[in-house]
Amino acid sequence: MTDAVSFCANNSIPYKTNLKTKTISTFRIGGTAPLVVYPKDTEQVSVLIKFFNENEYRYKTVGNCSNILFSDEILDCILIKTDGLSLLKVENNNIVSGAGNILSKVASTAMKNHLSGMEKLFGIPGSVGGAVIMNAGAYGAEMSQIVEQTEYVDSEGNTHIVRGEEHCFGYRKSCFTETDVVTKTTLKLNPGTYRDIREEMNAVKNKRVTTQPLDLPSAGSVFKRPEGHFAGKLIEDCGLKGISVGGAQVSTKHAGFIVNTGNATASDVKELIHLIQSEVFEKFGVMLETEIRII
């Protein structure tokens, strides 16, 4: 991988080698990423992907790693981390944001500019790119309601723009493939009142603090909501709240979360996930599907 390191150095693309992935994941779990690259703009994403293709390197894009369980091993791919895609500008009622900005920062910018539409999304600890990919949502709101257009770079290094329905948003999913890199999104918001927006954001923040185990590392809800049920309720009704495998525990505050109580490994989390899935299936005939992505 030394040629990839030289390529980054020669093209002024920031990078880190042998990064412990637990240091970048909200779960605080992981192994080692041999190379993490931090492109500063769409052009750098494009040249990186072309270089990776020419040299047959596999890559994976990550944002704030708040929905990811990194393996305990050495990753067999290069990570493209989007922190450097940090453009943020307000254009009339729209906000144009680079993929790397954290959602709450963009929501705060919306509030300061008296723009409404992001209140319920405030507090989701993802980047804009990750939130578009996942169609992140909370309390009845989701990204699909405000995303107007998205720029991305495909697996050949070519840049495209998708608009409106072309995003094919669904429950925690969108049109993008594993190898697309979302670089920029335009959010369509509505004029609002600063005080009302702030009050709603505060209410949402308080709700999260009361209902979620924010004092311990996690990746949020581990499972997607199965139709007609709530994953957390099914898990709780199986008597699994609080059970542990190694350092991974079903949160005692919200059974839909698995928390890292200290030294959890990815293997602990995977074992706990399988245990939950089989118990819930046995008792309720519902197969829980994971929302978190495993790298």
Q: Which residues are catalytic?
A: 172, 221, 291
- Our finding on whether 131 is near ligand FAD (CB under 6 A) is yes
Count of residues of this chain found to bind ligand FAD when the rule CB under 6 A is applied: 33
- Of the two residues 61 and 249, which places its CB atom closer to ligand FAD in the complex? 61
- Our finding on whether 133 is near ligand FAD (CB under 6 A) is yes
- Our finding on whether 260 is near ligand FAD (CB under 6 A) is no
Tell the smallest beta-carbon distance from residue 174 to ligand FAD (Å): 9
- Our finding on whether 174 is near ligand FAD (CB under 6 A) is no
Tell the smallest beta-carbon distance from residue 211 to ligand FAD (Å): 10
DSSP letter, residue 99: T
Residues in contact with ligand FAD, shown as a per-residue x/- string from 82 to 111 under the rule CB under 6 A:
x----------------x------------
Please state whether 191 falls in left (phi above 0), alpha (psi between -120 and 50) or beta: beta
Tell the smallest beta-carbon distance from residue 107 to ligand FAD (Å): 13
Query: Nearest CA to 120 among 132, 130, 111?
Result: 111
- Our finding on whether 60 is near ligand FAD (CB under 6 A) is yes
Strands 68-69 and 293-294: parallel
DSSP letter, residue 170: B
Q: Is 87 exposed, middle or buried (0-12, 13-18, 19+ CB in 10 A)?
A: middle
- Our finding on whether 220 is near ligand FAD (CB under 6 A) is yes
Q: How far apart are CA 152 and CA 5, in angstroms?
A: 24
**CA 21: distance to chain centroid?**
15
Q: How far apart are CA 192 and CA 206, in angstroms?
A: 21
- Of the two residues 138 and 175, which places its CB atom closer to ligand FAD in the complex? 138
Binding ligand FAD (rule: CB under 6 A), the pick from 8, 13, 49, 68 is: 68
Q: Yes or no: say if 63 and 129 are a contact pair by the CB < 8 Å rule.
A: yes
- Of the two residues 31 and 284, which places its CB atom closer to ligand FAD in the complex? 31
- Our finding on whether 33 is near ligand FAD (CB under 6 A) is no
- Our finding on whether 67 is near ligand FAD (CB under 6 A) is yes
- Of the two residues 150 and 265, which places its CB atom closer to ligand FAD in the complex? 150
Instruction: Name the phi and psi angles at 233, rounded to 5.
Output: -65, -45
Q: How far apart are CA 123 and CA 49, in angstroms?
A: 32
Tell the smallest beta-carbon distance from residue 4 to ligand FAD (Å): 19
Binding ligand FAD (rule: CB under 6 A), the pick from 44, 71, 218, 251 is: 218
Instruction: Name the phi and psi angles at 86, rounded to 5.
Output: -115, 20
Q: How far apart are CA 126 and CA 21, in angstroms?
A: 16
Query: Quick count: other Cβ atoms within 10 Å of Cβ 155?
Result: 14
Where do contacts with ligand FAD occur on this chain (CB under 6 A)? 26, 60-68, 82, 99, 124-127, 129-131, 133-134, 136-138, 180-182, 212, 214, 218-220, 293
